[in-house]
Amino acid sequence: MVSQEFQGVVYVGLACATIDPLIAGLICHATGQLQVLKRNLQHLDEYVDKQVAKTYGREPTAVIKSKVIYDKIKECVLHYNVIANFVDEYEQCFSSAIFCQFMESIIVIGICCLQIIKLQAFNLNMLIMVNYLCFLLLQVYFYCYYGTMLIEENNTITNAIYMSKWYDYNGQSRRALLILMERTKRSMHVSAGKVLDLSLETFTMILKRSYSLLVVLKNY
């Protein structure tokens, strides 16, 4: 019996240590790709100058440079579409699981706080409960933090385009950038069960609901 209980605890620990970084890490990966895209858009002119000079070995003409810039902008648009599709597929795969985990976290956080309140003296049990509560809050916080970062990085792509030398581009390249700017107006976010967005506001909501549950349990 003890062996089975020990195996169960170890299995749960390994599962959480493996799955949670994977799910949160995929959001972090999408955020990092948006940061790369922003840097490419902001310094597009510099990258094109280096590429053309390396390819042709001389100062590029205006026609050649304009063509390469337009091709790079198309690559950026395709890059953004790949990121958006990745986020959509991610949400389809993990949205329900994240929602269940958030609902479970609200209940467990409230119960943990109740157990800590009932413990009169500082002992090993209190230390275990406090550590467990801290890890649980940190687990939920990672999801919400990276969800917020994803939203913020998507919203600042327009700023990256504005900081570039778009005024030196031809009309075709400018229109392509306008299309990309309009595309980024659609919010890129991950939701939990199509109900809650992964954001720091959701993390605050979880804390409030957990406190409300704690008050109810304490009264009984």
Could you give the C-alpha distances from 11 to 1, 4, 14, 15, in angstroms and in order?
Answer: 15, 10, 5, 6
Q: What is the pLDDT of residue 18?
A: 64
SS3 197: strand
Average pLDDT over residues 40-65: 76
Task: Indicate whether 5 pLDDT > 50.
Answer: no
Give the tens place of pLDDT for each residue, 105-154. Answer: 888 888 888 887 877 667 777 777 788 788 888 888 888 999 999 999 99
In this structure, the number of other CB atoms found within 10 A of the CB of residue 144 comes to 23
- Residue identified by tokens 């599709």 is 85
Highest mean pLDDT among 30-39, 42-51, 58-67, 130-139: 30-39
Q: Which residues contact 74 (CB under 8 A, 6 or more apart)?
A: 176
Q: Is the pLDDT of residue 9 over 90?
A: no
pLDDT of 220 > 70? The answer is no
What is the pLDDT, as a whole number, of residue 14?
56
pLDDT at 64: 78
Across residues 4-27, what is the average pLDDT? 63
The residues, any chain, with a CB within 8 Å of residue 39's CB and separated by 6 or more, are: 160
Of 11 and 27, the structure prediction assigns the larger pLDDT to 27
What are the residue ranges spanned by the domains of the chain? 2-219
Highest mean pLDDT among 54-58, 86-90, 129-133: 86-90
pLDDT grade, residue 157 (50/70/90)? very high
Range 165-192 average pLDDT: 88
Mean pLDDT, rounded, of the chain: 82
**Any idea which of 37-41, 51-55, 106-110 has the lowest mean pLDDT?**
51-55
Which is higher by pLDDT, 34 or 196? 34
* Tokens coding 19: 């799955």
pLDDT of 13 > 60? The answer is: no
